[in-house]
Copies of this chain bind each other. A is one copy, B any other.
Amino acid sequence: MSITVEQSTLTTRFRDVRTLTDELTGRLSPEDQVPQSMTDASPTKWHRAHVTWFFEEFILRNLPDYTVYDDSFRYLFNSYYEAVGARHPRPHRGLITRPGVEEITRYREYVDQAMTTALEEGLLDERARTLVELGCNHEQQHQELLLMDIKHLLSTHPFAPVYLERGPDDAAAVAAPLRWQSFDGGLMTVGADGDGFSYDNEGPGHSVYLQNFQLTNRQVTNGEWLEFMADDGYRRSELWLSDGWNKVGEAGWDAPGYWSLDDGTWTTFTLSGRRPVVLSEPVVHVSFYEADAYARWSGARLPTEFEWETAAARTGATRGQLLDPGRCHPGVAGETMIGDVWEWTSSAYLPYPGFVPAHGAVGEYNGKFMSDQHVLRGASALTPAGHERPTYRNFFPAASRWVFGGLRLAR
């Protein structure tokens, strides 16, 4: 996470990130910004305030002349930083109606003003500038989260409301033909080497020993997933991990998240309303359990995160669909490594050898979640461009389906 950033570049970077959040949330009414549709999700207005609070808490508060906007916001908009003090219980974020949307807009403007002044007047030392970059990455991560969360919220509405109007899909689009790509094993160096920004959990760079392996050239598509379903994939216990099979039974899963069989046609809820499933798009909103079962069904397996990272490095880390505010949905499956949908790996989310969390409260960012989570690699169609990188380690529990998660096969 240590990196020297030019002042002017950082100012631009800060403004761009903040502006994108405003663009993404500006489409939502005050009412849309209030509810929390499940414990894992947060209200839009909470996201908007929380990412703002991050800059205030970790940067502006340390400046001699800064006046805190509202002291109560530390309690309301802290997410999980134990070191910062007491905070509002996560499951009740949807009950906090005040401050309202307009006041949060004023809070954002206040902090933006103070941050811009601090950046332009050179008031920030190197550590603070590093924290600005961290704050920008943090806000980008929340841009993806708030879109995931608003999608989940709108999906609970019986009449499939629209976040974003968008033209019809090209049902005739064709995915790239599926091929296996071979990679030699051996002693590999993986992880972030400190050249450019990265989260603490991406390092230290270190050696791992890999056997020879193969990866497919693209992600698994909806069309291929329908074959799995047609072959009773959701009804054959031998394909599933035990916990996954229990979850299938409890939750009644018989298709990816957001899918629904309407008059004989599989449709899926998108940020542009409910639409027919497009066969050539990568499958998305499948859990780790489903990805793992699909891989077993196809006679393959999921890649480890180090196989994935090695393959990304060797094939040029080609980009697919990243966040396009006018689309917010994966594109047709192409021969790329990063984008469209996050890819579940077989790796548990664990510290790299020699991992040390960042110092202070921001060190609570990643390390403390290193149990019973699964690594996803790449990026998705909700990930803002510039936030993705080959060493990025996303992580979610095995049953998560609201993340834009899909898969690629290995063997």
**Considering the complex, which residues of chain A in the window 394-409 have a beta carbon less than 8 Å from any beta carbon of chain B?**
398
A241 touches B369 (CB 8 A): yes
- A contacts with B, residue count (CB < 8 A): 62
Complex contact A368–B209 (CB within 8 A)? no
Report which of B31, B245, B292 forms a contact with A30, defined as CB distance below 8 A.
B31
Residue on B with the closest CB to A82?
A: B237
* Interface hub of A31, A187, A370 (most chain B Cβ within 10 A): A31
Least CB distance, A278 to chain B, in whole angstroms: 26
Are the CB atoms of B97 and A35 closer together than 8 Å? yes
Measured in the bound complex, the distance between the Cα atoms of B351 and A88 in whole Å is 40
Which B residues are CB-close (under 8 A) to A240? Answer: 368
Q: How far is the CA of A369 from the CA of B351 in the complex (A)?
A: 22
Quick check: which of A18-26, A156-164, A313-321, A323-331 contacts chain B, the rest being far away?
A156-164
With an 8 A cutoff between CB atoms, is A166 at the interface?
no
Q: Does A63 contact B (CB under 8 A)?
A: no
User: Which listed residue, B95, B159, B354, touches A153 by the CB 8 Å rule?
Assistant: B95
| Contacts A30-B29, A158-B88; A95 near B35 (Cβ below 8 A) | yes
Query: Which residues from chain A sit less than 8 Å from chain B, CB to CB?
Result: 29-35, 37, 45, 72, 75-76, 80, 82-83, 88, 92, 94-98, 100-101, 153-154, 156-159, 161, 187, 206-209, 211, 237-238, 240-245, 288-289, 292, 346-348, 350-351, 353-354, 368-372, 374, 398
- Interchain CB contact under 8 A, A80 and B242: yes
Contact, CB under 8 Å: A238 / B29? no
B241 touching A288, Cβ below 8 Å: no
Whether A31 contacts B100 in the complex (CB less than 8 A), given A238-B83, A288-B371, A371-B241, comes out as: yes
With contact pairs A242-B369, A371-B241, A398-B371 given, residues A31 and B208 touching in the complex (Cβ less than 8 Å): no
> Considering only CB atoms, which chain B residue lies closest to A32 in the complex?
B97
Q: Which residue of B lies closest to A80 (CB)?
A: B242
B29 pairs with A97, CB closer than 8 A:
yes
- Pairwise interchain contact A161-B372, C-beta atoms closer than 8 A: no
Given contacts A72-B159, A80-B242, A209-B208, contact A97 B31 (CB under 8 A): yes
Q: Which residues of B contact A82 (CB under 8 A)?
A: 237-238, 245
Report chain B residues within 8 Å CB of A372.
243, 372, 398
Shortest CB-to-CB span from A302 to chain B, Å, is 10
The residue that A35 contacts in the complex, of B88, B94, B153, with Cβ under 8 A, is: B94
For A209, give its contact among B187, B238, B241 (CB under 8 Å): B187
Contact indicator B97/A94 (Cβ below 8 Å): no
Residues in B neighbouring A242, C-beta threshold 8 A: 80, 368-369, 371
Q: How far is the CA of A31 from the CA of B44 in the complex (A)?
A: 12
Cα-based distance from A367 to B33 in the complex (angstroms): 39
Give CA–CA (A94, B398) in the complex, Å. 28
Chain B's closest residue to A369 (CB) is: B242
Q: Which residue of B lies closest to A367 (CB)?
A: B241
Residues of B within 8 A of A88 (CB): 158
**Contact B370–A241 (Cβ < 8 Å):** yes
Knowing that A94-B94, A95-B156, A347-B350 are A-B contacts, what are 15 other residue pairs whose CB atoms are under 8 Å apart, sorted by A's residue number? A30-B100, A31-B97, A34-B35, A35-B95, A97-B154, A98-B157, A98-B161, A187-B187, A206-B211, A208-B209, A209-B209, A241-B371, A242-B371, A243-B372, A348-B350
Contact present for B211 and A209 (CB under 8 Å): no
Q: Please name all residues of chain B whose beta carbon is closer than 8 Å to the beta carbon of A29 when the two chains form the complex.
A: 30, 97-98, 100
**Within 8 Å CB of A159, what residues of B?**
72
- Distance A95 CA – B159 CA, assembled complex (angstroms): 12
Is A243 within 8 A of B371, CB to CB?
yes
| Smallest CB separation, A163 vs chain B (Å) | 11
Report the separation of the CA atoms of residues A156 and B348 in the bound assembly, to the nearest whole angstrom.
35
